[in-house]
Amino acid sequence: MHLTLHLTARCNLRCRYCYAAPHAGGDMTPEVLRAAIDMAVAMNQRERPGLSLGIVFFGGEPLLRRDLIHQALAWCREIETSTGQLFHYKITTNGTLLDEEFLTSPETRDVFVAMSHDGLRESHDAHRVDAAGQGTFDRLEPVIDRLLARRPYAPVLLVTNPDTVQYFANSVRYLHRRGFTYLITTPNYGAEWDERSLAELRRQYQSLGGWYYEAMMREEKFYFSPFEVKIGSHVRPGSCKAERCELGRTQISVAPNGKLYPCVQFVGDGTDDEYAIGDVFSGIDAEARWRLYAANGEEKESCAECAIRDRCNHYCGCLNRQATGRIDRVSPVLCAHERIVIPIADRVAERLFKKRNALFIHKHYNELYPIVSLLEDTSRARADMR
C-alpha cells in the first residue's frame, strides 16, 4: 500500500500542463502528517499485514517542505522500531531543489527519487517554467548529474504535449543518453490533441520502436514504460487490468488539509468533496472508497466491444477524470494513444522474439528477472567500488 502525502500545494514552478495548478491549498501541518501515517499504518496492518508501507512525498513541490519530510521519516522510523512495520519511501520532484545534502544525508538517502523532466530543451522549456516564465532546462543539467551519481536507477517522468510532440522521441533518447534507465513517459491526456498531433505522436513512437529494438539488441538494460507495459499486457494477459489504478484500494492521497483522495490527480486544492474518501482525523470512508473502486472496475460501455480493451489503460479512472472529468468516461485521447502504441509495441516485441533476444525474453518472461537484474547491478556496483 502507498500513502501519498501532498506536503504542500505550493510549487516553485508553473508547468503549463500541471493538473494540480493553481497551487492553492497551503501546506500540510505536522498534525495532519502524523495522523496520516498513523492511519495508513493501521490500514496496512489490517489489510496487508507484514508488507512494507510505501510513503510517497508529493506536492506541489515536496522539497519546499523538507522539514516535513524529515518529520515523516523520523516518525516512520519510530513506528518501525516499536511495531516492526516496514516502510519504503519515494519522492516525486521537479528537481530544482534537489541537492547533494538530500541525496546523501543518512536521514534521506533511502528515499527513492523520481524526477520530472521533459527531455530536450525545446520540449522541456516550452512547459516546465518557473514563476517568471523561464525554462528550467539549464538549472536541471547539474541536478541530473548529481542525481544519477547518487541514485543511478532514478526514474525520470516525461510528459509530451501536442505542441512538443515532435521532440518526443529525441527527448527520450536524450534522457537515456544522459544516463536515465527508467524512462516513464505519458502524453498529456488533458491537452487538446488533434489528428495532426496524433499522427506525429505515431511517428514518434515508430521512431522509438526502432530505438528500443536497437538498444535491446545491444542488450542495454533499461525500462521504457509505454512499450514495457503494453508488451507485458500481452505476455501476461490480464496484467493491465490487474495493475490498473487502484483508486483508493492500495494507494491513498492525503491533501495538505488532511482530506483523503483515491489518487494524486483528485487532490487539487483539497476542496473537492465529490471524490473525497474521508480525512485523516475521522478516518477513511470505507463505503465511498469501495464504491469508487467498484465503479472504476466496471467495464466501460464505450469499450465493451473493443478487441484490445484488456491491454488498454481505459481502466485508469484517474486519467479518465483528468481528461473527461469523470472516472467512467474514457478519454478519446487515451483511446487514440492506446490504438497507436499497442501495435507498435507488438511489432517491436515480435522482432525481438523472432531474434530470440535473450534480454527481451528474460525481461518479459522470467518472473525472477527483477532479482537477477538486481544481482547484476550489485555485482556491477561491487566492481565499480574496486
Partner 1 sequence: MRVQPVRRYTDPRYPAASALDTHPELLRLLPRRWRSNSLVLAGLAATGGLLLAGCRPSWADTFEGELKVAPIFTHGDGRGAFGCVAVNPPVFLSEEEARGVIIEEAKTAGIVFETDVLTLPEVRVPETTENGSVLPDEGEEPRTKVRELKLDGTDRERRISFEYVSQDDYEAWKADDGGPMSTVSSFDLIGTAKVLRDGLAVAHAAEDGTVAVLYDPMERYLEDTDQVAGGVDWQQAEKDAKERAKAQLRKQVKGFIEWLKAEGVI
> Would you tell me which residues interact with partner 1 (CB under 8 A)?
193-194, 198-199, 202, 219, 231, 234-237, 302-309, 330-333, 335-336, 339-340, 342-343, 346-347, 349-354, 356, 358-359, 361-362, 364-368, 371-372, 375-376, 378-379
Contacts of 89 (CB under 8 A, 6+ apart): 54, 55, 56, 57, 73, 76, 110, 111, 112
Q: Which is nearer to partner 1, 16 or 300 (CB)?
A: 300
Name the residue nearer to partner 1 (CB basis): 96 or 188. 188
Nearer to partner 1, 57 or 205 (CB): 205
d(CA 26, CA 42): 27
The dihedral over CA atoms of 26, 29, 35, 40, expressed in degrees to the nearest 10, equals: 50
At its nearest, how many Å lie between partner 1 and the CB of residue 319? 13
User: Element (H or E) spanning 102, and its range?
Assistant: helix 100-104
Beta carbon of residue 334, minimum distance to partner 1 (angstroms, whole number): 8
Query: Which sign, positive or negative, has the C-alpha torsion 189, 191, 192, 193?
Result: negative
Name which of 23 and 202 has its Cβ closer to partner 1. 202
Instruction: Tell me how far apart the terminal alpha carbons of the chain are, to the nearest angstrom.
Output: 38
Q: How far is the CB of 110 from partner 1 (least distance, A)?
A: 23
Q: How far is the CB of 336 from partner 1 (least distance, A)?
A: 7
Q: Which is closer to partner 1, CB of 78 or CB of 220? A: 220
Please state the closest distance from residue 161 (CB atom) to partner 1, in A: 16
**Residue from 226, 170, 185 nearest 338 by CA:** 226
With vertex at residue 297, the alpha carbon angle to CA 296 and CA 301, rounded to the nearest 5 degrees, is: 85
Residue closer to partner 1, measured from CB, 35 or 303:
303
| 94: its cell numbers | 521537479
Q: CA dist 31 to 27, 39, 192, Å? A: 12, 12, 40
What's the min distance (Å) between Cβ of 310 and partner 1?
Answer: 10
Cell of 379: 555485482
Instruction: State the cell numbers at 62.
Output: 515536496
Q: Which three cell numbers stand for residue 27?
A: 501546506
Cβ proximity to partner 1: between 249 and 329 the closer is: 329
Report the nearest approach of partner 1 to the CB of residue 316 (Å): 14
The β-bridge relationship of strands 223-224 and 251-254 is unpaired
Per DSSP, what are the bridge partners of residue 182?
155, 223
